[in-house]
Amino acid sequence: MLRKMKWVSTMSLTLAMVTLSACGQTANTQTGGASSSTPQQSAAASEAPKAPVQIEFWYGLGGKLGENMEALIKKFNESQSEVIVKGVVQADYNETEQKLQAAIAAGQPPAAVLASNVDWAAKGYFEPLDDYIAAAPEFKKEDFIQTFLEQGQVDGKQFFMPMYGTTQVMYYRLDTFEKAGIKAEDIKTWEDLAKAADTMAVKEGGKTTFYGWEPMWGSGNMIDAALSKGGKILSDDGKTVVFDSPEWIETWDLFRKWLHEDKTMAIHSGGQGWEYWYKTIDDVMKGQAAGYTGSSGDQGDLDFSIVGAMQQPGWEGVGEGKPVAQAIMAGVPAKAKDEQKEAAFKWLSFFTKSENTASWSMNTGYIAVRLSAQDDPAFKAFSEKNPQIKIPLQQASHGSKPFLDPTGGKINDALTVAADQVQIENIPAEKALKQAKETAQRELDKALKGK
């Protein structure tokens, strides 16, 4: 938000100046009110530095991710004098979008936000960035990883800027794997992981005291696994929901079995913001679980003298894994003031400069969005000493594109409900997925009818 002026002091100064002017001729006036300022003085006044444009940038990042964002905002503010970015932290991505919706409705949105909503862009809530990009030849659109750039496009227009890429990878305790005689490179399939988890899990008196693996709460991990088995969310013509297919049911029911019957795996659920996420990480870092499936962006919170990283596996007889590789994007709300939109684009462009996206990747584990980042000297040196930074890049090369929900999120919501039923309530996957399909299909039919 723009800082409020101290109007009382300003008003007092103005009254004082008026009083002095009323007392008679001053050094800066002549009889009749003509100005006596010199041409040099007038030119100096007209060339006075313009006040920087202040903008808010909303983002839902915590922990070291939040710290790195604060550092990059500080670097930008100190690099130039035209724009001042004020970071406004939200609890998570969902809260960011909820508060953004309210701000847009009130006509007081931030100038930039770490969020992207294709449906909102289509409705005109976000500003197209094409004109800004065209006016900035240094932007080098072709240098971006194209699959990330394309995820920010709606009807051929660039509405969102890819800030960094993410994909769900596997983190495991080096000591636990070594003690169990398990090598990460031998885990090629989910079946391999299940066997390893069973070997490493510790049970005492019918209760598991050390888990062999911890999937992350939510539909994400199980969607990745279903896609890796050949499952689809919609039919090829986009008219039918098909996530009740055998690929989905078999995959999701295995997760249910591992969690509730074998009890070799566990999840943390609920809590505020990213609480469940950090509890999962803590279990592994504190020696209460052998490993977990989490974001490539977790690397900034991990100690790689304790853990290692590996790609998500595939399935026996199917092939390598195909988890989603997604760009985390930022946009400029259409209701922001024109000068703030321009300022916001300068900030987003700075964030995605080659050396900055390389630095973000090194410090957080997220995927750099520019091809040239891989040639950055600091990144090359870092990757030689920290090979785990390459795992997300390698996985993204054969990953699946994120699902673009034509219902504005209703299909994804149905999958979220189904995932909770399987992971938390121990409801068979077939029942949960078929119920979710009925809900999702109704919403899809409405969306298609409205076109």
How confident is the model over 358-381, as pLDDT tens digits?
999 999 889 999 999 989 999 999
29/421: higher pLDDT: 421
pLDDT of residue 48: 61
pLDDT score for 31: 34
For residue range 304-353, list pLDDT tens digits in order: 999 999 999 999 999 999 999 999 999 999 999 999 999 999 999 999 99
| Nearest residue to 398 via CA among 320, 327, 294 | 320
Domains of the chain are 53-166+326-396 (3.40.190.10), 167-325+404-449 (3.40.190.10)
| pLDDT of 441 strictly over 60 | yes
Distance, first Cα to last Cα, the chain: 38
Q: What is the pLDDT of residue 393?
A: 83
d(CA 63, CA 68): 9
Quick check: 279 and 268 in contact, CB under 8 A? yes
Grade residue 408 by pLDDT with cuts at 50, 70 and 90.
Answer: confident
Which pLDDT tens digit goes with each residue over 230-264?
Answer: 999 999 999 999 999 999 999 999 999 999 999 99
The mean per-residue pLDDT over the stretch 273-300 comes to 95
Pairing mode of beta strands 160-173, 325-331: antiparallel
Question: Which range, of 3-17, 31-45, 129-143, 405-419, averages the lowest pLDDT?
Answer: 3-17
Q: What number is the average pLDDT over the span 25-51? A: 48
Residues 6+ apart with CB under 8 A from 322: 224, 227, 228, 314, 398, 399, 400
Residue with tokens 């689809």: 232
Residue percentage of the chain with pLDDT more than 70: 89
Among 11, 431, 407, 396, CA closest to 169 = 396
At residue 298's C-alpha, the angle toward residues 296 and 304, to 5°, is 100
47 CB burial (10 A radius; 0-12, 13-18, 19+): exposed
Q: Three-state SS string across 255-321, please?
A: HHHHHHHCCCECCCCCCCCCHHHHHHHHHHHCCCECEEEEEHHHHHHCCCCCEEEECCCEECCCECC
Does 14 score more than 90 pLDDT?
no
Q: How far is CA 401 from the centre of its chain?
A: 15
Q: Is 124 exposed, middle or buried (0-12, 13-18, 19+ CB in 10 A)?
A: exposed
Single-letter amino acid, residue 334 = A
Residue 229: predicted pLDDT: 97
Would you say 326 and 116 are in contact if contact means Cβ atoms under 8 Å apart?
A: no
Predicted pLDDT at 46: 53
Once rounded to an integer, what is the mean pLDDT over residues 400-409?
A: 91
Instruction: Look at the block and give the residue holding tokens 């050949």.
Output: 230
Residue 390 has a pLDDT of 87
**Is this structure's pTM higher than 0.85?**
no
Question: How far is residue 126's CA from residue 331's CA, in Å, rounded to a whole number?
Answer: 7
What pLDDT sits at residue 6?
A: 30
| Banded model confidence at residue 25, pLDDT cuts 50, 70, 90 | very low
pLDDT at residue 47, rounded to an integer: 60
pLDDT in the model for residue 415: 98
Q: Does 11 have pLDDT greater than 70?
A: no
